[in-house]
Amino acid sequence: MSKENIVFRSLPITPHRPLLPGFAPALGTTLLWTGLLVALPLSALALRPWEHGPGAMLHVLTGDRVRAALALSFGAAALAATIALGLGLVLAWALARGPRSGPLAAVRRGLDLLIDLPFALPTAVSGIALATLYGPRGWFGAPLHELGIDIAYTRAGIEVALVFVSLPFAVRAVEPVLAALPAAREEAAESLGATHLQVLARIVLPALRPALLAAYALAFARALGEYGSVIFIAGNMPGRSEIAPLLIVIRLQEFDEASAAAIGLLMLLGAALCLAALSAARRALR
C-alpha cells in the first residue's frame, strides 16, 4: 500500500470500513466455513424430507408414534422451562440481590460457581447420574418409591432431566437484568406501604417481563433438543416416554433417513421459533 493511498483513504471520516485491510479474505473464509459446516448441512435437513413428496412427509409426521414423540417433547419442554423459570427466579434473586457481605456473601459466591454445573457436565454423565439417583434403588428414588412415587422411567424422570439441563439458561438470562433494575421504584412502593409480595408482583416481575421471556425461550430450546441426559432416565417406551430426538436416532438406525429428516425439520422449526422469541425479548430489553 503506497503512502499517498493511506493519506487519501484516511481522509473521509467513515471510521470502520475503508481503513482496515482484509475485508474480502475475511468474508470469503467466513462464508466458506459457515457454508460448508452449517448452511450446506442445514439445507439438506430442509430439503430432504420432501424428496418423496409432501404427502409422504405428512404421512411420517402424522404417524401415531411420531405424533406421540413430538407431543411429548414439546409438552415436556414447555413444562420443564416453566419449572426452570420458577426455580431460576429464586436463584437469580439470590445471586443478584443476595448479601454482598457477611456469612451469606460466601454462600452467594459459591452458588454463583455451581449454577453452571449442568452446562459444564457432559450430558451422558448427567444422564446416568440422574437415572441412578432417581432410580428405584437410588438416594432419592428409593425413599420416593417407598412413598409410591416413581420418577425414573416415567414422564416425571424426563422433567427432572430437562429441568436439570435448562436451569442455568433460565438463571443467567434473568440475573443481570434483575441486578440492573433501579431500586428507587421498589423503595418508593415499600415506603408507600406495599408488602414484599406486592412489590414483587407489581413492580419487579413486570419490569422483568422481557428477561423472563428470554429465559423461557432459552430454557425451552435447550429442553426441546436435549438427548443425552434424558434417554437414560426416560424409559423410552414408544408412544409413551419416547422423546423426538430419540425417535430420530431410532429411525436412523433403521436407515430411514427421510423420516428422521422430517422429524428433525419440525424440531428445527421449533428451535427457530424460540430464537425469534429470544430476539424479540432482546429488542425489548434495549
Partner 1 sequence: MSRVRDRADARDWLVMAAACAIVGVLLIAPLVLVFVQAFADGWRPALEALREPETLSAIRLTLFVAVIVVAVNSVFGTIAAWLLARFDFRFKAALLTLIELPVSISPVIGGLVWLLLFGAQGWFGPWCERHGIGLMFAWPGIVLATLFVTFPYVVRTALPLLEAQGPAQEEAAVLLGAGWWSLWARVILPGMRLALLSGVLLTTARALGEFGAVAVVSGHIPGLTNTMPLEIETLYNGYRSTAAFALSATLALMALAVIALRTLIRRAGSVRA
56 lines the binding site for partner 1 (CB under 8 A): no
50 lines the binding site for partner 1 (CB under 8 A): no
Q: Which of 67, 139, 142, 237 binds partner 1 (CB under 8 A)?
A: 139
Give the separation between CA 82 and CA 59, rounded to whole angstroms.
Answer: 32
Distance in Å, CB of 217 to partner 1, minimum: 9
70 lines the binding site for partner 1 (CB under 8 A): no
Nearest to partner 1 of 5, 62 (CB atom): 5
205 lines the binding site for partner 1 (CB under 8 A): no
The three cell numbers locating residue 52: 418423496
Q: At what angle do helices 205-225 and 257-285 cross, to 10 degrees?
A: 160
Q: Which of residues 150-169 bind partner 1 (CB under 8 A)?
A: 163-164, 167
Nearest to partner 1 of 52, 59 (CB atom): 52
Nearest to partner 1 of 123, 155 (CB atom): 123
Closest CA to 77 of 205, 244, 264: 244
Listed in sequence order, the residues at least 6 apart from 251 whose beta carbon sits closer than 8 Å to its beta carbon are 257, 259, 260, 263
Distance in Å, CB of 195 to partner 1, minimum: 11
**Number of residues in contact with partner 1, rule: CB under 8 A?**
103
Instruction: Look up residue 252 and give its amino acid.
Output: L
CA angle 116/92/212 to nearest 5° reads: 105
202 lines the binding site for partner 1 (CB under 8 A): no
132 lines the binding site for partner 1 (CB under 8 A): yes
Q: Which of 56, 61, 79, 121 binds partner 1 (CB under 8 A)?
A: 121
Closest CA to 246 of 18, 23, 60, 73: 73
Buried b (16+ CB within 10 A) or exposed e, 174-201: bbebbeebeeeebeebeeeebeeeebee
Q: Which of residues 227-256 bind partner 1 (CB under 8 A)?
A: 227-228, 232, 245-246, 248-249, 252, 255
17 lines the binding site for partner 1 (CB under 8 A): yes
